[in-house]
Structure formats: C-alpha cells, structure tokens
Amino acid sequence: MSVIDKAIAAITPPESEEARVEARAKAEAAATPGDWLSLILDHHRQIERAFDAVEAAAAPAERIAAQKALGVILTGHAVAEEAAIYPAMAEEHQVGHAELAYQEQSAAKMELGLLERLDPMSQDYLDKLGHIRGAVTHHIYSEEGTWFLQLKQEASADEQSMISQRYKEEFSRYMGSDAV
Ligand SMILES: [Fe+2]
C-alpha cells in the first residue's frame, strides 16, 4: 500500500451503511424536483452504479470501459460541484467544509489516474478501487448528511436557484446538454 493509499484508507467510511441510508433519506426529503440537490442525488446514484459496473466486470476490456465511464461521471459531477456548490458553501459559513470537499475530490481524481496504470484484473487494482470507492462514499455521506443539508437551509431562494443553474451549466458543459 502506497503512502497515498494509506491516506485514503485512513479516511475510509467510519460511518455505517445504516447511517448512509439515513443521510440519503434526509437529503431526499430536503430536495425538490429539478433543484441542485435532486440533481446531485441523482448523480451520486449514477456514481455508485458506475463503481458497481467496474467491480462486476469479468474481462479486462469490460473493466477498462467501465472505469472510463466511472471517470467521466465522477469528473463531470466534481467539476460542477467545484464550480457551483463548494463556493456557495464557503459563502454560507462552511469554508472548512468547502476546503475539505475540494481536497477530497482532488485526491480521488489523482487516485483514479493512478488506477489506470494498474493491470485491470490484478489484486492491486481491486485494492486501489476499493480505497477510492471508500473515500468517495465517505465524501458523499458528508455532502448528503451534513454539508448540503446546511446549504439547503441557509442559502436564500435566489441563491438556491442560481446554484441550480450553475450546477446544470457546468455538468452539461462536460457531459453534454442531454445529460441534465
Ligand atoms: Fe457529490
């Protein structure tokens, strides 16, 4: 395990699956159809399915294709959050949370790039994939369970609609206009 793997492993989910389910249910209850939070919850579910597909792949070409698809949705989602959501968190008294969010996403991007260099059917690959998934899962839990609920409560209605617009713009700039 590299030093970076250890750093990522160290932040791997301390929370239980039950706590994650509860956090998502709360976030779903706070979201309204078409707003930034509902879009993000949808994209978080897509990310989870993309990880499942990488894990389930039975042959190298299938795994590489699934990993590319995971990279695309993770990057499109991260770019949109970094442009639209984290600055709004910083504006609404969550500077520390916003800084941590950027750091965690940078680490995930770097690790995903390193994953590409490993034999896709090796144990090292599965270990690194597991660490990345753990870190992303914890990041999502922080967003859904705390950071985004707070932003939803504190931002004004005008700010919320601006955030929704920004998130959609940035996501579709990367993913294509049919994506949102
Ligand atoms: Fe997210």
pLDDT in tens, 2-49: 555 555 555 567 899 999 999 999 999 999 999 999 999 999 999 999
Q: Which residues surround ligand 1, an ion (CB under 5 A)?
A: 143
* The predicted structure's pLDDT at residue 12: 62
Instruction: Give the pLDDT of residue 180.
Output: 76
CA of 61 to the centre of ligand 1 (A): 28
Provide the pLDDT confidence category of residue 117 given band limits of 50, 70 and 90. very high
**In the chain, what percentage of residues exceed pLDDT 70?**
93
Q: Is the pLDDT of residue 88 over 70?
A: yes
Tell me how far CA of residue 47 lies from CA of 41, 143, 162, in angstroms: 10, 14, 24
Cα 171 to Cα 29: distance, rounded to the nearest angstrom: 23
Distance 117 CA to ligand 1 centre (A): 25
Both structure tokens of 155: 């931002």
Grade residue 85 by pLDDT with cuts at 50, 70 and 90. Answer: very high
127: CA distance to ligand 1 center in Å? 22
- The dihedral built from the CA positions of residue 103, 104, 109 and 115, taken in this order, carries a sign that is positive
Q: How far is ligand 1, taken at its centre, from the CA of residue 1, in Å?
A: 26
Please compute Rg for the chain using Cα positions.
Answer: 16
Distance between Cα 43 and ligand 1 center (Å): 8
Structure-block tokens of residue 139: 């990041």
